[in-house]
């Protein structure tokens, strides 16, 4: 009996993988099978509410020129992304941490801290194209669906174990770490690479030179190396290794350049700072 409970605890993350994989391959309507348990209306509402909460706590930039640049570049990316259900909104947030996001519904936030790394409108287009791609591909809903499934499996199986009830905190921590590393992070890294691919095409369609994306990610990688706290945090990062990301962009560049040649050709655009 003890062996049974021990095996059950250790195999739960792998069972989660098996069930997740089943739902993935059974969804033939998507170009890549996806497990999405959240309907679109709920997803959009959650995005809008989360955006309002973020903005209520944020300090928005009063720099009209930079805010205008964010909205101009973002608007071009939004037009080529062609998502009619999104009510696009773009805001520049006063925050030194280099980051940007796009919530479901097209709710975009860009931190001022990423502007020195972006350098130009094209660098900004690389960032915003990437973040918009996450929302268009419904990566947030997909990750939330995986979490719901993993938590459901954990609750169903673990709560039936008397030993688990006596050691709830220990098993919860072990299960949570195993599930995150084995299931959640690989999907997240896949999402990051998908967003890179989609974002590169978006910026090219919008008229920005896709070769600037490679330059941006090289600068971003350099920033990351200079500001990384530990190898452990690097390993657990949801982002793919810098070399993998840059190599993938290089591989897709010929296709992106073909798209760019048919665009209005803005090039690198104007400098941001």
- Which residues does the annotation mark as catalytic? 131
Q: Which residues pair with 242 in a beta bridge?
A: none
Instruction: Return d(Cα 37, Cα 45) in angstroms, integer.
Output: 15
Q: Looking at 82-210, list the stretches that DSSP marks H as alpha helix, in order from N- to C-terminal side.
A: 115-118, 121-136, 139-158, 162-166, 168-179, 185-205
- 13: helix, strand or coil: helix
Instruction: Return d(Cα 103, Cα 57) in angstroms, integer.
Output: 16
* Element (DSSP H or E) covering residue 54: helix 40-57
Longest dimension (CA), the chain: 69
What does the DSSP 8-state code read for residue 113? Answer: G
Neighbours of 113 (CB within 10 A): 16
Contact in structure between 118 and 127 (CB atoms under 8 Å): yes
The strands making up 89-93's β-sheet, listed across from edge to edge, are 89-93, 107-111, 100-103
Contact in structure between 234 and 228 (CB atoms under 8 Å): yes
């Amino acid at each position: 009996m003890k062996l049974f409970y021990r095996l059950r605890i250790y195999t739960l993350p792998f069972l989660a993988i098996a069930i997740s994989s089943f739902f993935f391959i059974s969804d033939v309507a998507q170009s890549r099978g996806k497990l999405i348990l959240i309907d679109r209306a709920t997803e959009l509402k959650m995005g809008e509410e989360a955006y309002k909460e973020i903005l209520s706590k944020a300090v928005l930039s009063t720099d009209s020129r930079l805010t205008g640049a964010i909205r101009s570049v973002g608007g071009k990316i939004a037009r080529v992304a062609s998502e009619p259900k999104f009510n696009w909104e773009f805001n520049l947030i006063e925050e030194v941490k280099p980051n940007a996001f796009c919530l479901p519904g097209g709710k975009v936030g860009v931190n001022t801290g990423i502007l020195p790394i972006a350098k130009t409108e094209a660098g900004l287009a690389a960032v915003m194209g990437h973040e918009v791609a996450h929302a268009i591909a419904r990566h947030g809903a997909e990750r939330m669906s995986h979490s719901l499934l993993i938590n459901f499996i954990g609750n169903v199986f673990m709560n039936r174990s008397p030993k688990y009830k006596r050691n709830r905190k220990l098993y919860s921590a072990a299960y949570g770490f195993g599930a995150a590393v084995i299931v959640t992070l690989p999907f997240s890294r896949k999402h990051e690479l998908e967003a890179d691919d989609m974002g590169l095409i978006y910026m090219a369609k919008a008229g920005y030179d896709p070769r600037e994306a490679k330059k941006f990610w090289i600068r971003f990688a350099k920033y990351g190396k200079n500001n990384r706290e530990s190898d452990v945090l690097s390993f657990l990062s949801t982002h793919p290794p810098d070399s993998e990301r840059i190599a993938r962009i290089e591989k897709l560049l010929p296709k992106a350049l073909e798209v760019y040649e048919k665009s209005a050709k803005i090039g690198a655009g104007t400098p941001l700072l």
